């Protein structure tokens, strides 16, 4: 994994950053041009993009990764259409997660004041456009609904459900159903949510004991 400055200011225009981003952006296009049944080719491109790709991951595409190498995806995770991951800092996605269409994860942060967004003074006396980034972590067995946005510095615990259209600005504890803009915890997920209690949905299927 490449350095992401551990929350300190950095220049997105540093040569090594521009080189890596260009490589990843081109690989995004390669991935998005492939047919869904070109499984080996898609796997090869995704492996080249990401910092860590575990077994059984399916990314529908199209995708947009910024660096790619700062992102890890755990085994068995499914990511639907139009996934965007701006991974200036580390992005960790756990095992057996499900992402709906149009999920976005962002890690970079910019100054609030307009003049500071334009230029800041660097230690060498030069003036540059700078930003910083905060890591995002998503636990195991999480379901993020369509159009969820996960903001910098957020941790989502294991077994969470994030409602469609949510903007997650704060961390969410494990086993929570959270939704809204800004996203907030609605309640804990319990055995009362089991499909065993919803025979009208379960039909002739059964919950595995």
Which residues are marked as active site?
110
DSSP run (H or E) holding 162:
strand 161-162
Tokens of 189: 């997920």
- Specify the 3-state DSSP secondary structure of 20: helix
Distance of CA 178 to the CA centre of its chain: 17
Tokens of 110: 């910019």
Measured between alpha carbons, how far is 147 from 172 in angstroms, rounded to an integer? 17
Measured between alpha carbons, how far is 114 from 95 in angstroms, rounded to an integer? 40
What is residue 51's DSSP assignment?
S
Using an 8 Å Cβ cutoff, are 63 and 43 in contact? no
Task: Return all residues near 20 (Cβ < 8 A) that are at least 6 apart.
Answer: 2, 67, 68, 69
- Specify the 3-state DSSP secondary structure of 58: strand
């Amino acid at each position: 994994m490449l350095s992401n400055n551990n929350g300190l200011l950095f220049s997105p225009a540093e040569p090594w950053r521009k080189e890596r981003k260009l490589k990843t952006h081109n690989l995004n296009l390669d991935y998005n041009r492939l047919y869904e049944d070109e499984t080996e080719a898609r796997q090869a491109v995704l492996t080249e993009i990401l910092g860590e790709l575990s077994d059984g991951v399916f990314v529908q595409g199209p995708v947009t990764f910024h660096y790619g190498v700062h992102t890890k995806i755990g085994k068995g995770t499914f990511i639907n259409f139009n996934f965007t991951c701006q991974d200036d800092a580390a992005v960790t996605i756990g095992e057996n997660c499900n992402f709906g269409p149009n999920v976005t994860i962002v890690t970079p942060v910019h100054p609030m004041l307009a003049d500071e967004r334009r230029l800041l003074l660097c230690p060498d006396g030069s003036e540059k456009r700078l930003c910083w980034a905060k890591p995002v972590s998503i636990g195991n067995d999480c379901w993020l609904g369509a159009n969820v946005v996960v903001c910098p510095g957020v941790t989502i615990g294991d077994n969470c459900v994030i409602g469609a259209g949510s903007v997650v600005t704060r961390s969410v504890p494990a086993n929570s159903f959270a939704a809204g803009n800004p996203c907030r915890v609605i309640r804990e997920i319990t055995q009362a949510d089991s499909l065993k209690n919803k025979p009208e949905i379960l039909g002739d299927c059964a919950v595995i004991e």
